[in-house]
Amino acid sequence: MHQTIEKLSQMKLYTMATAFKDQLERPSLSSLSFEDRFAMIVDRECASREERKLTKRLRSARLKTNATIEDIDYQHPRGLDKSVIRSLASCQWISSHQNVIITGPTGVGKTYIAEAFANKACREGYTSVKYRATRLFGELEIAKADGSYFKALSSLAKIDLLVIDDWAVDPLTEDERGHFLEVMEDRYGLKATIITSQYPVAKWHDRIGEPTMADAILDRIVHNSHKISLKGESLRKTKTNLTKGEHSS
């Protein structure tokens, strides 16, 4: 038995080794058939591997919050449709290579909702990475300078769900327009993307700038997307006011 446990460990089947050892220490399991006991060991190994894969996907996603679909706040008046969120929570739009556009003023929870979808995607087995738009453009500019530009684009193209947060806060520069078109061209019809912005889609053409480029970019984003338009006061401001009220009372 000791040799068997050692061999399992040598093969890096650590969970199976632990499960096997646990069974040896639990006489009550001796009444089960060999097939049932072996199935229990294999199930623990599979569950452990899936957990490790999920942990890796979440780490790679670079999410800043522990946002989840289940914890989204529907009480705050911001025009959030619960049925739309529930529908998108199935992640069917990811496997169909569609996009989600989340717009609204500062503080209404655009980033939280985007990260909640990314979290759900990771739990469903998809890869996801979140970038602030300025950081994404900055990294692509550096890659262009050091000769790794096409490698960087290739890496982005492989991500099942790319989240681009705070897009077009400032009007896009010529280089940013070029970078963004390359990214969306690689993903169009092949992968899913979430874009959050303070500006409504109707103003995106002007934020992009050059008309021909704007048409090309919007054609790859808007016509294959689900739109979530938020409104109302900042959640952070509301929570601050509530806290102040509690302290004063």
CB-neighbour burial class of residue 50 (10 A; exposed 0-12, middle 13-18, buried 19+): exposed
The strand ranges marked E within 1-135 are: 99-103, 128-132
pLDDT beyond 60 at 126: yes
188 near 159, Cβ under 8 Å? no
Q: Give the residue extent of every domain in the chain.
A: 2-60, 62-237
- Write the pLDDT tens digit of every residue in 135-166: 999 999 999 999 999 999 999 999 999 999 99
Mean pLDDT calculated for residue range 166-193 = 96
223 near 99, Cβ under 8 Å? no
Fold of the 62-237 domain:
Rossmann fold (3.40.50)
- Write the pLDDT tens digit of every residue in 57-112: 999 999 999 999 999 988 888 889 999 999 999 999 999 999 999 999 998 999 99
- pTM for this prediction: 0.82
Produce one character per residue of 157-173: b if its CB has 16 or more CB atoms within 10 Å, e if not. Answer: eebbbbbbbbbbeeebe
* 3-class SS of residue 227: strand
